Structure 1
């Protein structure tokens, strides 16, 4: 499956995006590895499987320690990433591995299958790896009558990745009381009761429908807290419901520039986007460096309104006004720019002595 470069002099002619397109057209990769939906536009770069938008939401809920999801078209790929993906072998080879002992009484999801069916199958396939080794799992201990209880147990286990980071927070750290966008959210007609319902609806990871994707560009941190002798090694965790992704660690820098884009699926009942900053320690627990919560509901509503409109020119759609009542460093603008709904956010980190974080949000429809 690997792509052969013509020679060292022409290697840069074959750009990573062109190589990705070539991989997409391999026979097995033309259909989602988990449900068979044609023309999958997403890939688990860690597992190597090409997947559809619906299955990608389940993969994200597994955590990046199991499945790191990237867009084949929206994300920027490097040659090294494409090399690693090609070496994994593609859908045909990987399904032979992960479905090697798939029992006859277990039905693989179809393109029309529900989120519940996808979630149960995908978790068994990758998280539990129950179908991998026929020699070790000849009986494949999956009892159909226990499907509901197994599904619940697997769904609850998906929070372990996020909790592993949350456990690193200091015991004295207080719950965040600051959420960006409350006033603006209410102006769009969202009630507090809806937010409570959102929390309840996301209690089972992967068991919800998704309304879109949010692309978060973690731009930079400013004047972050010192957690080592004179500096820190900061990284950022983004969490939306039961999905968590994180940036790379930047060594010895209190003003780090990540400029790193991460993608999360947006559940139907939209929870706040949680932002956590930590200092990476090699021989001890990572140190907490601040947090913030961002209400993305107004951004999603603006994106939905744009889809139903005929607007083509760039324009401002809304604004969060910075004040003493919120954590904004400056006004946060929701804008339409070249057909994309974006929002620039700069926040003061909470429950820490100092630090600011700059983010760029983009709402991506499921059709992309």
Structure 2
């Protein structure tokens, strides 16, 4: 049996069909260092821990070595790993949920793996695939929404609200320098533009940055472009895509004050041959806010995926 087939079979186990940390369905990332399958939001925190604690790979996009696949199989999946890493919760601590904020995920995941706060007091990890307590490092700076100041929206006359676009991360971006690229993202709506910071020499960058745009009454799609920053010449384009915000705004107008409703799905942007969606993108009310997770296959370029979240903020 091939290594890829073994990994696919492991992913299809019932306990591996949800994220090991927050329980979100259909995880597409994994940490062979630890032996768990992860959702996009949790894997972003895992990357900040460093590969000595948690090396993160895409189940479908990255190339895996035989050793990494064997490490996953040896652990046995999420239930087996969590029987160690979540064996004992101190008073006042509960398991993470899929709707947790980035700050909550960062605290929980660092406590779980870096500091190993949820082990039984007498338990010592001996698996070669899991970091021992003596390998825990000093806390690292975890990127969060609070550490990336939100850009204030440009004031547009007659605006019907604002969009907070959280650029989460990119995957398998195109090479525009010798071996890598220095990517940044620009989003625009009409004459408004906002952009992320530049990620140096990184084809799988993590931004976790919030960009703000004001929504006029005669809005069109949000345009997203990825560029490679160059010091001495014009920045090279690394792909582009459009975000159709009509499904979100139509749903938002139909439901009015979202804070009056519980968590629920209220709309959907469907994947089709003429848009850049990797998969259908649902519009949801989450904690009284209207949000939409979007995965985009960059167009007019050889490769590249951008993961982001859009939130509509009424005026």
- Please report how far the alpha carbon of residue 84 of structure 1 lies from its aligned counterpart in structure 2 after TM superposition: 2.1
Please point out which of 302, 305, 309 is paired with 1:363: 305
Listed as ranges, the matches of 1:263-342 within 5 Å are 263-269=204-210, 299=239, 302-304=241-243, 312=274, 340-342=297-299
Q: Is 2:176–2:238's contact at 8 Å kept on the other side of the alignment?
A: no
Q: Please list every run of 5 or more consecutive structure 2 residues that lacks an aligned counterpart in the other structure.
A: 125-137, 152-163, 185-195, 212-225, 246-268, 277-295, 310-315
Higher helix share: 1
User: Does the C-alpha gap of structure 1 residues 246 and 15 become closer, same or farther in structure 2, counting only changes over 3 Å?
Assistant: farther
Q: Is 1:216–1:263's contact at 8 Å kept on the other side of the alignment?
A: yes
Please point out which of 159, 163, 169 is paired with 1:213: 169
- Please report how far the alpha carbon of residue 60 of structure 1 lies from its aligned counterpart in structure 2 after TM superposition: 1.9
Larger radius of gyration: 1
User: Does the C-alpha gap of structure 1 residues 157 and 132 become closer, same or farther in structure 2, counting only changes over 3 Å?
Assistant: farther
Partner Cα separation in structure 1 for residue 147 and residue 38 of structure 2: 26
SS in structure 2 of the partner of residue 130 of structure 1: coil
Q: Deviations over 1:116-136 (max 9, x none)?
A: 222211111112222234127
Listed as ranges, the matches of 1:62-73 within 5 Å are 62-73=49-60
Q: Deviations over 1:187-214 (max 9, x none)?
A: xxxxxxxxxx985359xxxxx9854531
User: Does the C-alpha gap of structure 1 residues 136 and 26 become closer, same or farther in structure 2, counting only changes over 3 Å?
Assistant: closer
Q: Is 2:19–2:38's contact at 8 Å kept on the other side of the alignment?
A: yes
User: Does the C-alpha gap of structure 1 residues 133 and 313 become closer, same or farther in structure 2, counting only changes over 3 Å?
Assistant: closer
User: Does the C-alpha gap of structure 1 residues 199 and 295 become closer, same or farther in structure 2, counting only changes over 3 Å?
Assistant: farther
SS in structure 1 of the partner of residue 79 of structure 2: helix
Q: Is 2:227–2:239's contact at 8 Å kept on the other side of the alignment?
A: no
Aligned residues: 216
Listed as ranges, the matches of 1:118-137 within 5 Å are 118-135=105-122
Q: TM-score scaled to structure 1, two decimals? A: 0.45
Q: Is 2:150–2:210's contact at 8 Å kept on the other side of the alignment?
A: yes
Q: Deviations over 1:91-115 (max 9, x none)?
A: 1121122122321420111122222
Listed as ranges, the matches of 1:209-248 within 5 Å are 210-216=166-172, 222=178
Q: Deviations over 1:228-286 (max 9, x none)?
A: xxxxxxx9798989999989xxxxxxxxxxxxxx533442436xx999xxxxxxxxxxx
Partner Cα separation in structure 1 for residue 173 and residue 233 of structure 2: 15
Please tell me the root mean square deviation across aligned C-alpha atoms, in Å: 4.9
Which 4+ runs in 1 deviate beyond 4 A?
Answer: 217-222, 235-247, 290-300, 305-311
> What's the counterpart of residue 159 of structure 2?
none
User: Does the C-alpha gap of structure 1 residues 60 and 313 become closer, same or farther in structure 2, counting only changes over 3 Å?
Assistant: closer
> What's the counterpart of residue 107 of structure 1?
94
Q: Please list every run of 5 or more consecutive structure 1 residues that lacks an aligned counterpart in the other structure.
A: 1-13, 138-152, 160-196, 203-207, 223-234, 248-261, 276-289, 315-338, 345-359
SS in structure 2 of the partner of residue 59 of structure 1: helix
Q: TM-score scaled to structure 2, two decimals? A: 0.51
Partner Cα separation in structure 2 for residue 243 and residue 43 of structure 1: 26
Q: Is 1:97–1:132's contact at 8 Å kept on the other side of the alignment?
A: yes
Residue 59 in structure 1 maps to residue 15 in structure 2: no
SS in structure 2 of the partner of residue 61 of structure 1: helix
